Amino acid sequence: MSSLNKVSGIDPELDADFFYDYETLRVGGLIFAGIVMFLSIILLTGNKIRRCGKPKPKPVLDEDDY
């Protein structure tokens, strides 16, 4: 046992049979990325969807504005 493990009290044999489930991690990451992408598209196009194709109101300019 190294002196670092003696000082920190961590036994490296406790995690010897631990493994990452990469398939679940990958699927969860893809689902998260898909949800973030979907919400960002909704956020960016939200104003167009809310107006439902109504023309954009144009400001009225007076002769003094020129």
The type of residue at 21 is D
- State the 10-residue block means of pLDDT for the chain, 66 residues long: 55 69 94 96 77 70 66
pTM for the full predicted model: 0.49
CB count within 10 Å of CB 39 equals 10
- Cα separation, 20 vs 26, whole angstroms: 11
Give residue 60's pLDDT: 78
Which residues 6+ apart lie within 8 Å of 45 measured at CB?
none
Q: Domain coordinates of the chain in residue numbers? A: 22-50
**Amino acid in the structure at residue 27:** V
